Every structure is written in structure tokens, then in C-alpha cells.
Structure 1
């Protein structure tokens, strides 16, 4: 017969799917009429900007752009460096079985390869490979029976460790700063390239908000205002802080926050002496916040009624729980030696760095990360016929991160950030590269639980005739008092009392116990 049990709704955040893919982009870039002809491409850098990510039935539609900044030399025998910008459209579909439009989808993109070749003096051919990882989460609700004493029922209680979502929120931070170059630096003619990145990030949950603190690093490559075409480099560190308001967050909340520079611009202005040394910086940072609280709930995993026929309805649920999150910062120092066919160095210019994580493994409280730091170094040559040169090198690295409790079967996500990069010349053919790298590791494990959603008692309203019986039972491997009591239609308390057992957890295979059972 059906009975009314006290119930509670449990909300689980489950993995809805995960899929990796690659996008191959190819396109031609035409030099603007205002720019001189192209002789040699010095560097080509790309920034992926996703504009629209839309979940549908079994598929994700995405669109965006690969923004390109290209530095090159002219074919007119000049020593000057020129820049042009362009973009390639991104349109793709990722198939994911079981996906629906109500699921939350997160996309992680990596520019795995970028190549730019001269086709003719007005046209460049660009090839790019973008790596995509899509992860979807679903919300699953379960009405479970609450364990209560009485009613003649025996309940097997369990603990369910839950990560309950507090908020999912996006917000923007705006940085407006006026940077004045000193008189010792050349005045600005044309900005050839500008790079912005975040370093020293600190993100802390508070009551009703999240504090965000970081340093915005600005690197620019520019020519002076004298029309000589001489290239100069300037770097500036701009501290910023702010708060993201979010109801329900406490200092104990677990948070994950991605900060991404979504838009950046620099305008040149005149200083008090009428020289173009003032840089008006306007940067927008997009913050994407996920916050959750960790709690334990008492749940019923099994039940029966001694002396009655019991039907237990159960649901098996699988859900991820966090094993740990940690940050690891380390430094790379590497000697860079030019090949025989590369021109000798006179002075260091600008250095770019790109991180690519190739493999992540976990085992016995340790996470190992392997990757490559690709560096591009623009330097001034000793040879008169080539004022500016570029060298590109790949530096492999391996780093171990300690995390208590992590195991091989856990899912590990690692975010990488290049905090600092610098290059110093040691000789005309050798230099030393320094890089500071931050790795943020997040480990999750899939847990499985069996929850009781309903209990039905058959013929519970009829009186039943109980006959006393006794049996000597030999405990088998894998037995528990719960299993034995349910099998013989008695109670754990009765077994403990009859056998004078004080600790119910200390039964062992081969032990003989007396069962006074209930016989219908």
C-alpha cells in the first residue's frame, strides 16, 4: 500500500556532456592601400573572440572572429616595421549527444597553430587551427525520502556531499587610465601592436560579493614621431580592483571566476609640452563567475519494514564533486641560441609568449602538467641591411602540482597564465629568456549515490502472525549488519542486543552470530 513519507528535493548539478573539436581557418589578407607593399612577415598574432555560443538539441552553434595583428617589413629597402590588422570569421557546430537548449555550456578555446605566408607583395595567406573544448552542465532534481525513526521502518542512512549552486553571473570591469611616457622615452608616432594581459590575480569571496584584484600589463610596440621608422617598446603595469555583487555568496563559498579582456583600445594624446607622450587606455574585462556551497545531507539509501513485504523505489545518480583547487607559480629560465642562418643580435626589442598545455595526468596526490611555451623575440640586428629581426623558439616544460586526495580517475582542468616574460641579450648569438607561469588546477571526481524516492508496504493494514525462530549465521565477506538484518527480516538493534555486540562496525568474516528472526 502507498504511504506518505516526508520528502526533500535535492538539486544536483550533473555533467551534461563534454566534447573536443578543432576548427581549421584559412583565408587571404589584402594589405590596405594606405600601407606599403609586403616584403617579409615578422610576426602574426591572433586573438580569439567568441561572440555567440548557443546550445540546441544535440548541438552547439558558435560564432566569432580570429583577430590578427601582423608586423612586416616593406620591399622598398626601408628599415621600418609596419603593422596591419585583419580578422577571419569563426563559424562552427559542435555535436553533443543529449544536449538541450536549457543546459549551461562553457567553451574553452586555444589557438593551437597560426601561420602567415607572403603570397605576393599585397596578399598574405593565413592558416590557423583553433582547439575547442565544450562542457555542458544540467540541473537534476530528485524528491527523496527523509530518514525518520518510527512507523516500524528500518532506514539505512547515508551522507550525500552536495555542491549546491549559489549563482552564475557575468559582469564587466572597466579600466580607464592615462599613461604618460617620460622624456627619456621616444614620443609616439604609430602604435604597431598592443598586448594586454592580467597578472597577479586575486579573487576572494565575501558576504554578498566577490573581490577582484589584479594587475593589467600593457605592452606596446611603436614607432617614434620623427618619421624615422625606428621601433620602440614600452611596458606599463596598471593595478585595478573591483567587486562583483552576488546574493548568497559567503566567505566560505567555493568560486570559479574567469577574467578575460574583451575589448581594449589606446589613443595617443599630447602632453603639457605638446608632444605625443600620453596614452589614453580603455580596457573592458569580462568576469564570468560560478559560485557554490558545499554541504552534507542525510539521505535514505535503503529501507525495509520487519515483518512486512516492502517495495523500495530507488534512483541512482551520478554527479561531480570537487576534490580540490590550487595555484602553482613557477619560473622558466632558458638560454636562447640563434641558428647559423639567423642574424646576430644588437639589442633586444619585444618578446611575446604563448602557452599550450599538452598533457595533464594525476596520480597519488600529484598532478603533472606538460606543455610548451612558444616565444617570439623581436630584436635589432647588427647587420645594416636588416634593422629588425625575429626569432621563434619552443620551450617544453613539465611541472608537478601537489593536491591531497587527487587520483588517476579524477577529471583535471588546468588554466594557464603567462604572468611575466623578458629577454636579455648575452652575446650576439645568445640570450636568456625569463618567464613566470601560473597554473591553476581544479580536480573533480564523479560520485555515485543510490537514493530512495518512495517506499511501499504491502498488506501493512492486516495483522500478521509472527513466529519466533533462531539461526546461527556465519558472517561472509562483504556482509554488514544492515544486510544481515534485512535478509533475516529482523533489526540491527535486535542482533546487537542478542549477541551483546557494542560496536556494529566491528563484525568480521567467519564470526558466528545468533539471529532471532521474524517468520511470517
Structure 2
């Protein structure tokens, strides 16, 4: 007798952890930069450089990269910038993790504040929230059927599994060169810039992943013009391309997230040696998990008519994809300047980032609540401070529809902000509009007892001799044809043939004649 087995490769969720990290440091203004009179705007980005998984804990290394736009009253060109970074290392306890597990780290910047210590020294303080999701790939060997036994009866059950085929990270580089608009002067120095991915479309194809989207570029710079040295422009740069993903198929399910991990925007000279071109290089990091839904018939029970077979069971857990879904939500908010702020002449740039505060499973799916922090840079009606920044918060509450979801499910939510636009209502108020895209992948945990071995044991010959060759039986509630055939050492086919049954379903109090095999 031979047991036919199959290896099922599945991804198992092992746990989630949260921690807060406070970063605080002081920075001197570089010697090549003038004194700081007033800070206009600051922004920051977290770069996770290393995630090291150990027994029961995870070490996370990273850095906060920040930039500051400021006014200097001690220079003929008042707008300047400086940047820097703060390194950090955090160890988070996670009881269930072990070396070799996959731990995804996401972050929210809950606070970033810069303040002047003096005109040559800056204090930077930030609070970041780290979320860790741990999982591991498990290969489960399960019995499918048995071969080689003439009098062996077997039963199978259908098990739906989401088998993981690919799990990896990769990078996608976007390179372009744009030209300063014809009505703008040459660039002397880039003061502030930003790059954001919009309308990103990621699709699985055979042996590759297709990416298509737009890169939104903002550049503020100082020019050589005496009367109007401060200039800016916004533009978009479409991109498309493929990443190799060997083994992927178009019909598989891909859970792929992308984020910018590097941005480089530099001045380049054109063919006339004038500083009118801007070189752009953006690196996207993609975390890829590719699954395939598969239905497998696993062996659930076995017995023999001529010997005693004892199946050896062990519990197995499958985390199967219940659903992938996303919810799109349009947000808008009016934001007014503070009483002490200069009035608005023109909007330069608007942007924001999403912070998810709370998620809750309900009968319809997942309720997601949070806030979008927005920043608007504008040209101000104040010669002493020609640029200023307006900040605001846009709260949101969004329902992601996931039928059949319950509290045993695990899930990942990826928020993306798209189509951010702003409109100047008057010199004191701006309306900002945006699209919030919340994507969710939900896994439902299924526990199955699988057969990993079948043992043969000696039959009780005395007991076998005392069993009559034929009996009458009245069906009880819960009886199945399989259990009766196994109990009385016969086959389902024999019972159906003897009693002229056309279907396997039995009814309580139904009378059966059962012939027992010796």
C-alpha cells in the first residue's frame, strides 16, 4: 500500500506588533548657508534600512530624512533650505517570530517638528509609529490517496488553499529629464522639490509585472533674475515598464505594494549650456506576494476490509485569501490661513500623507478611520516672507466591503493618496481635494486535520468471528453512509446495492440491511 502525498506551500500569519519611536536631535546650519530667521516648512521621510528577525524579537534599523525650507533676513535671496537625517535602531519583542520569518514594517509619522535654538542651530523632533506584520512560508505535506490495496476504502475532502508561489522585494527605477517651461528663467539653485506617484496601475502578467503611472514633480528654485528670484513649476511625467517575476501567471492573485525609497532631482544643462533641464530619478520599492487559489482533494479517512488501518492525523493551518477589495473615497476640505499669516497670492504645491488611526472588523467588512495631513505651499503677499505654508487635517471614515469576514480573519490595508489638487477661494482660504484609495487583502484561517501516515494493526480475530454476516440497522441522526460502512466492515457500494439506494444521503429512522465482510 502506497500513500500518495502532496506538498502545499502556504503563507501563515504569525502576529502583529506596534511600537512608537521618538527621535530628537540638534543640527547646525551648514557654513555655506545663511542664518535662519524663520522656518517656512519642513518635511520628512522614514527609510527602513534593515529588518533583522531573531528568536522572539525583531531589530529595525532606519533613518529619518528631513528637509527644512526657511527665510533668511541676512541674504539678498531670502529663501534657503537645509537637510539632514537621524539614524535609529529599535528592538521590538514578538513572541511567535523566529529567524527566517518574513516581517513587513510599515510606518506613520505622527509628528515632525522643527524649531530654532538660535539662528545657526535647529532642533528636530519626530514621533514615528512602526507596525510589524510577521508571517512565514510553510510547506505542509498531506496525503491525497492510497494505492495498492484491493480491499482498501478511502474518503477525501475538498480543501481550498491559497498557495504562495512568489514572495520577494524588487525595485523599479524611473528616469526622466524635463525642461523648465519657456516662460521661466534659468535655474540657479533648486530650493525645494517633491515627487509623488499618481494613478499607479500594477498588473500581474506571465513571468512579469507591469507598472504604469504618472510622476508628479514640483520644483521651486532660485533664478538669476534680480526682481523675481523665486520661481517654481509643476509637471507630470508618465512612466511604464515591466519587472521580471518568473513563475507569475496573469490569472494568479498578486498583493503588490509600492513606495518611493529614493528621489534625486538635479539641475542639468541643455545643449546651449544653460541650466534649463532637470534630471529626475525615482526608485520604487515593491513588496510582492503572488498567490494561486487551488482546490485539492485531501485524504480524510481510510479503512480496509481485510486488515485494521489506523490513520495518523496532525493539525494543519491554511491562511487562504478570502477577498481582495479596495474602497475609493473623495475627500475635500477648506483650510484658512491663521491670523498672523500673510495672505495668499498663488498656490505653489499641495500634498499630504495618510495616517490610519483605527481599523475595526464589522458585519460588512472593515471600517477604517484616520486623517490626512495636508500641506500647501503658497506665494505670500509679504516681501519679507515671499513663501509660506498652510497646514491642515482632513478626517475620514471609510468602509471596505468584505462579505463573510469575521474576527478570525487577518488583513493588510494599504492607503494611497491620489489626485491631490487645490483651489484658491480667496486670499485667505484654499480648498483641497483628493482621492483616498484603501486597498485590503483579507485572509481566512482554516484548520484541517490531515493524514500524514497510515499504520497497520493486527485485527482482533475473536471479535471478528462473533460478528454476524448480516444485520438490520435503523439510521440514527448524524449517521453517514461512510461511517456505517467503516463501522460494519463493508463498503458504501455494497450498502447502496443491497438496499437499492440511489443516493448517499440517509434519513433518520431509515431501515437498512447491511452485509458484513468477514
Q: How does 1:187-266 map to 2 (within 5 A)?
A: 187-226=186-225, 230-266=229-265
Q: Using the TM superposition, give the Cα deviation of residue 396 of structure 1 relative to its aligned residue in structure 2, in angstroms.
A: 0.4
Structure 2's unaligned 5+ residue stretches are none
Call closer, same or farther: CA 1:497–1:75 in 2, change over 3 Å: farther
- Rounded to whole Å, the distance in 1 between the matches of 2:450 and 2:402 is 30
- Rounded to whole Å, the distance in 2 between the matches of 1:489 and 1:308 is 10
Contact 1:81 1:229 in 2 (8 A): no
Call closer, same or farther: CA 1:302–1:511 in 2, change over 3 Å: same
- Rounded to whole Å, the distance in 2 between the matches of 1:331 and 1:282 is 30
- 1:43 alignment counterpart: 41
- 2:329 alignment counterpart: 330
- Rounded to whole Å, the distance in 2 between the matches of 1:288 and 1:122 is 41
- 1:19 alignment counterpart: 17
Look up the SS of the partner of 1:147 in the other structure: strand
- Rounded to whole Å, the distance in 2 between the matches of 1:257 and 1:216 is 19
Contact 2:185 2:225 in 1 (8 A): no
Contact 1:190 1:225 in 2 (8 A): no
- Rounded to whole Å, the distance in 1 between the matches of 2:410 and 2:202 is 23
Q: How does 1:476-491 map to 2 (within 5 A)?
A: 476=477, 479-487=479-487, 489-491=489-491
Call closer, same or farther: CA 1:109–1:484 in 2, change over 3 Å: farther
Q: Any idea what the Cα deviations from partners look like across 1:254-313, whole Å, max 9, x if unmatched?
A: 222232323221221334565422112222333333222221111112233357544221
Q: Which range moves more in the overlay, 160-169 or 488-497?
A: 488-497
Aligned-residue RMSD, C-alpha: 2.9
Q: Using the TM superposition, give the Cα deviation of residue 68 of structure 1 relative to its aligned residue in structure 2, in angstroms.
A: 0.4
- 2:137 alignment counterpart: 139
Q: Any idea what the Cα deviations from partners look like across 1:116-170, whole Å, max 9, x if unmatched?
A: 2222222222221222222233232333222247543332311222222322343
- Rounded to whole Å, the distance in 1 between the matches of 2:209 and 2:51 is 25
- 1:468 alignment counterpart: 469
Q: Any idea what the Cα deviations from partners look like across 1:205-242, whole Å, max 9, x if unmatched?
A: 22222222221222222232336675433222111111
Contact 2:10 2:319 in 1 (8 A): no
Structure 1's unaligned 5+ residue stretches are none
Q: How does 1:84-483 map to 2 (within 5 A)?
A: 84-148=82-146, 151-226=150-225, 230-271=229-270, 275-305=274-304, 308-459=307-458, 464-465=464-465, 466-468=467-469, 470-476=471-477, 479-483=479-483
- Rounded to whole Å, the distance in 2 between the matches of 1:91 and 1:236 is 37
- Rounded to whole Å, the distance in 2 between the matches of 1:49 and 1:519 is 71
Look up the SS of the partner of 2:188 in the other structure: strand
Q: Using the TM superposition, give the Cα deviation of residue 422 of structure 1 relative to its aligned residue in structure 2, in angstroms.
A: 2.0
Are 2:508 and 1:502 equivalent residues in the alignment?
Answer: no
- 2:60 alignment counterpart: 62
Look up the SS of the partner of 2:225 in the other structure: coil
- Rounded to whole Å, the distance in 2 between the matches of 1:9 and 1:378 is 56
Call closer, same or farther: CA 1:73–1:165 in 2, change over 3 Å: same
- Rounded to whole Å, the distance in 1 between the matches of 2:339 and 2:60 is 45
The size of the alignment, in residue pairs, is 515
Call closer, same or farther: CA 1:69–1:512 in 2, change over 3 Å: same
Call closer, same or farther: CA 1:290–1:228 in 2, change over 3 Å: farther
Call closer, same or farther: CA 1:493–1:227 in 2, change over 3 Å: farther
Q: Any idea what the Cα deviations from partners look like across 1:469-516, whole Å, max 9, x if unmatched?
A: 53544533x5544445445555444444455443324x45x4444363
Call closer, same or farther: CA 1:335–1:468 in 2, change over 3 Å: same
- Rounded to whole Å, the distance in 2 between the matches of 1:229 and 1:462 is 106
Q: Any idea what the Cα deviations from partners look like across 1:458-478, whole Å, max 9, x if unmatched?
A: 1159795342353544533x5
Q: TM-score, normalised by structure 1?
A: 0.89
- Rounded to whole Å, the distance in 2 between the matches of 1:135 and 1:172 is 21
- Rounded to whole Å, the distance in 2 between the matches of 1:27 and 1:104 is 32
- Rounded to whole Å, the distance in 1 between the matches of 2:387 and 2:141 is 69
- Rounded to whole Å, the distance in 1 between the matches of 2:513 and 2:142 is 31
Look up the SS of the partner of 1:467 in the other structure: coil
